[in-house]
Amino acid sequence: MSGFDFVATRFDAALGWGRKFSLFHYPFITACCGMEYMSTACAHFDIDRFGAGLTRFSPRQADLLMVVGTVTHKLAPVLRTVYDQMLAPKWVIAFGACTVSGGIYRNYAVVQGIDKIIPVDVYIPGCPPRPETVLDGLLKLQDKIQHQGQDWRWARKA
């Protein structure tokens, strides 16, 4: 059985590497951080060279949800629906101070952190965060994807 363990370990590493460099992200942009999000796709920063350049505007085609900006309680059910429509495995990046903690809006209308609605894998702080910080957060997510256990139950149907 040890030969199978070796193959499974190698397959986990290959699957992790493939998932790490083929992120299809869905941008959920609600506020001013959207400008910094767009600048990461421009030539100077170029998010595409990190394997996350294909933006998808359908949650059914995306595996990375980037929540960018302020999320209100009225918008929270929409965010949850988008998250639920994504296929597994799925990851979430909270982008900016308003998404992470409610930012400067300490009132009844703004959600004080989207981790109350959906699970978050990487938090990117800042108001707005610089594109370098966004790319650093993406690298941290890629490292997390590479080192997590990969689900490949479809291969063990014997």
Domain boundaries, the chain: 2-149
Spatial separation of the C-alpha atoms in residues 156 and 121, rounded to whole Å:
28
Rounded Cα distance between 69 and 29, Å, is 6
- What is the spatial distance between Cα 126 and Cα 98, in angstroms, rounded to a whole number? 9
Average pLDDT of the segment spanning 136-152 = 83
Q: Where are the alpha helices (DSSP H) in the chain?
A: 2-20, 33-40, 76-85, 97-101, 131-147
Per-residue pLDDT tens digits for 63-114: 899 999 899 999 999 999 999 999 888 999 999 998 999 888 888 899 999 9
Longest dimension (CA), the chain: 58
> What pLDDT, in 10s, does the model give residues 16-30?
777 777 888 899 998
| pLDDT per position as a tens digit, 113-127 | 999 999 999 999 988
Contact of 61 with 24, CB cutoff 8 Å? yes
The predicted structure's pLDDT at residue 8: 56
pLDDT score of 73? 94
Q: What is the pTM of this model?
A: 0.83
Which DSSP category does 62 fall into?
A: -
What does CATH list as the number for 2-149? 3.40.50.12280
Residue predicted with more confidence, 13 or 5: 13
* Backbone Cα Rg of the chain: 17
The candidate with the shortest Cα–Cα distance to 133, out of 30, 53, 21, 39, is 39
Between 130 and 46, name the one with better pLDDT.
Answer: 130
Cα–Cα distance measured from residue 54 to residue 66, given in angstroms and rounded to the nearest whole number:
13
